[in-house]
Structure 1
Amino acid sequence: MTLPSFGSFGSDIEVFEESRSTLLGLAYRILGSRADAEDAVQDTFLKWEQARKDAEPIETPASWLMTVCTRRCIDLLRSAHKARVDYVGTWLPEPIATKTEPTSEEHMALASSLTTAFLLLLERLTPKERAAYLLHEIFEISYPEIAKALDMQEAACRKLVSRARTTVDRPEVRHTVPRARQEQLLDAFEGAIVRGDMASLSALLSDDIDLHADGGGKVPTIQQILRGKDAVLAFIGKVVQPSWSANRWVPVDINGGRGVLLEDDGKIVAAMSFAYDESGNLADIFVVRNPDKLARLREEAIE
């Protein structure tokens, strides 16, 4: 996926809006937070407006916008890392609604870069490694343009991407699971929560499954990652099922795959997304309960 090019300037708003969706997708992948991504895109627009008012020569608007947005994201990511050190419990990316086109291979590949598992791997990279990798590997930006965006030599950018690949390019994280298999998992999970049918869910779980829960210290949840099939099933049966059985179960597309929202009197109280192993079994369950991270789930889907 590449940033759009523009043949004519039009108004400031028209030019910016043509690239807004792509910039938002880039910013979210770098930051793991929709709120921060929207701030970065808004800051980019304000700088765009000011540059046009100052009659600053901009030969390639798309490249200019990408550069400004990337640099702003790197600044925000550095600040975010400091805050995440003091985060209460397990930190997970803010869940987002996503557009799903099962028949499009290109879209499926792009969606795999939105999964919670992939975004958590990106957390292991430095801010510039993360930006360089995403720009080149996901958004297909050339190394010369990346070098300009990061204010680095092209050779240094190539090294950043190469180092990032050793951490991020894992087949088990980027492989896609057929939608039918995802639906099967959702049905089994609903059966476990609503009817207490743990057997159907158990058959779909990996033996070394992990359950991650993010409450941000604002709602009760487990503080550490729960590991192993027996421990996860016991927790679902003894804690999750009694607590959630009366909630409304809403299947949705979250972070590039099928997920679910739990609603209580119309209010979202939890969002779940999943990761699968190469056999199609459930490898990770990601539960976000932090109300601050659930507040924007009804907004425009990210691509």
Structure 2
Amino acid sequence: MTTDTSSLYVEYKPLLSSIAYRMLGSLTDAEDIVQDIFAELETMQTDHILNMKAYLLKMVTNRSINMLKSARKTREVYTGPWLPEPETADAGQTPETAAIQAESVSYALLVLLEQLSPVERAVFILRETLDYDYRDIAELLDKSDANCRKLYSRAKQKVSTAPVPGREERAAAEPPIAVPVESTRVTSDHAKHAEILSRAFMAAANSGDFREFVGMLADDARLYTDGGGKVRSAIFPIIGSNRILAFLQGIAPGNIKPENQLLIDVNGQPGLRLNRGDELFAVLSFQFDSDARPVRMFMVTNPDKLQHVTP
């Protein structure tokens, strides 16, 4: 990279990467898009660009929309629920990591964003998670302010009552849980509850009895596992605390051992890294409703989605 491009890379890569990741739910694809943008920028004459930040934001947003349109067909025939790649960090906090987490989008919200069209998702992310005004969003997407307002309103309604993504017949059979958008935000209160729940899971694994842990869940809680057809996992949501208990008691032997668990940060909230021996087996995270009840658990076991997990 030239000196100018390198300085732009340092300045804008974190912002562009966060937008691409929130759009795609894939750290790998987000990295590819950002690298391609700066590789293209290296070959361009940029003297005519008056607002470089706006130019780069438009590039990353539009490329993410195009990639998401292509990816949706693959995700529709995915084996089991398609869950995003988790973004993880060590549980120990430094001022720098705390600042990053303060701007994190919860894993639960990323899951719900799968219900939106690519353009709805772009508007929602720019407005809800980055607090952009409608005028700026309209310029980025070449739409009117009024159109962006309608897209945002529609998107917010969808994510408030949406089932987790999957094939149409699976989604239709799953009763929706009404979870306000506000309850999917990363907050200190939810972080506290997530840590308590994570530690309860670790204690259950230590004792071999998950009844007390499952007793902390809502009666109609759901567990979603994403093995992507590459490792054995449930291809349908596991609904209800009794079924979740049976599932956990069934997979725990040989898979979930107390010495192979680590409390980590998952998209700004405490979650768990589960190892099988020396190898990463799964990342576990939680979603709460407006009363702080644990209503959803997400277990990612697809090895392709665990490549960026903190060692």
TM over 0.5: yes
Structure 1 stretch 141-150 or stretch 182-191: which is displaced more?
Answer: 141-150
Checking the alignment, whether the CA contact within 8 Å between 1:44 and 1:68 is kept in structure 2 is yes
Q: Does 1:33 align with 2:44?
A: no
1:11 corresponding residue in structure 2: 4
Checking the alignment, whether the CA contact within 8 Å between 2:274 and 2:281 is kept in structure 1 is yes
SS of 2:252's partner is helix
Q: Taking structure 1 as the reference length, what is the TM-score of the superposition?
A: 0.86
CA drift of 1:68 comes to 0.4
SS of 1:118's partner is helix
Query: Over residues 12-47 of structure 1, what are the superposed CA-to-partner deviations in whole Å (9 max), with x where a residue is unaligned?
Result: 111121111111111111101111111111122123
Q: Does 1:173 align with 2:173?
A: no
In 1: Cα distance, 2:278 partner to 2:122 partner: 37
Checking the alignment, whether the CA contact within 8 Å between 1:30 and 1:130 is kept in structure 2 is yes
Structure 1 stretch 273-282 or stretch 57-66: which is displaced more?
Answer: 273-282
CA drift of 1:237 comes to 1.5
Structure 1 residue runs without a partner (length 5+): 1-8
Identity of aligned residues (%): 35
SS of 1:144's partner is helix
In 2: Cα distance, 1:283 partner to 1:102 partner: 30
In 1: Cα distance, 2:29 partner to 2:229 partner: 20
Checking the alignment, whether the CA contact within 8 Å between 1:273 and 1:287 is kept in structure 2 is yes
Query: Over residues 179-206 of structure 1, what are the superposed CA-to-partner deviations in whole Å (9 max), with x where a residue is unaligned?
Result: 3332221121012122213343133111
In 1: Cα distance, 2:107 partner to 2:191 partner: 17
Q: Does 1:72 align with 2:63?
A: yes
1:253 corresponding residue in structure 2: 265
Checking the alignment, whether the CA contact within 8 Å between 1:92 and 1:116 is kept in structure 2 is no
In 2: Cα distance, 1:118 partner to 1:48 partner: 32
Aligned length: 287
2:48 corresponding residue in structure 1: 57
In 1: Cα distance, 2:195 partner to 2:155 partner: 32
Checking the alignment, whether the CA contact within 8 Å between 1:210 and 1:227 is kept in structure 2 is yes
1:3 corresponding residue in structure 2: none
Q: Which runs of 4+ in 1 moved over 6 A?
A: 99-109
Query: Over residues 76-122 of structure 1, what are the superposed CA-to-partner deviations in whole Å (9 max), with x where a residue is unaligned?
Result: 100110110121111111111158879999977633xx223211221
Q: Taking structure 2 as the reference length, what is the TM-score of the superposition?
A: 0.84
In 1: Cα distance, 2:223 partner to 2:233 partner: 11
Which of 141, 150, 158 aligns to 1:159? It is 150
In 2: Cα distance, 1:175 partner to 1:253 partner: 11
CA drift of 1:152 comes to 2.1
2:16 corresponding residue in structure 1: 23
Query: Over residues 244-298 of structure 1, what are the superposed CA-to-partner deviations in whole Å (9 max), with x where a residue is unaligned?
Result: 2266111100122101111234321111111123333321110011000001113
Q: Does 1:219 align with 2:231?
A: yes
SS of 1:25's partner is helix
Checking the alignment, whether the CA contact within 8 Å between 2:190 and 2:269 is kept in structure 1 is no
Q: Does 1:91 align with 2:82?
A: yes
Q: How does 1:193-204 map to 2 (within 5 A)?
A: 193-204=205-216
2:203 corresponding residue in structure 1: 191
Q: Does 1:146 align with 2:137?
A: yes
CA drift of 1:242 comes to 4.7
Structure 2 residue runs without a partner (length 5+): 161-179
Which of 205, 217, 222 aligns to 1:210? It is 222
2:39 corresponding residue in structure 1: 46
Which of 99, 102, 108 aligns to 1:117? It is 108
1:287 corresponding residue in structure 2: 299
Checking the alignment, whether the CA contact within 8 Å between 2:215 and 2:241 is kept in structure 1 is no
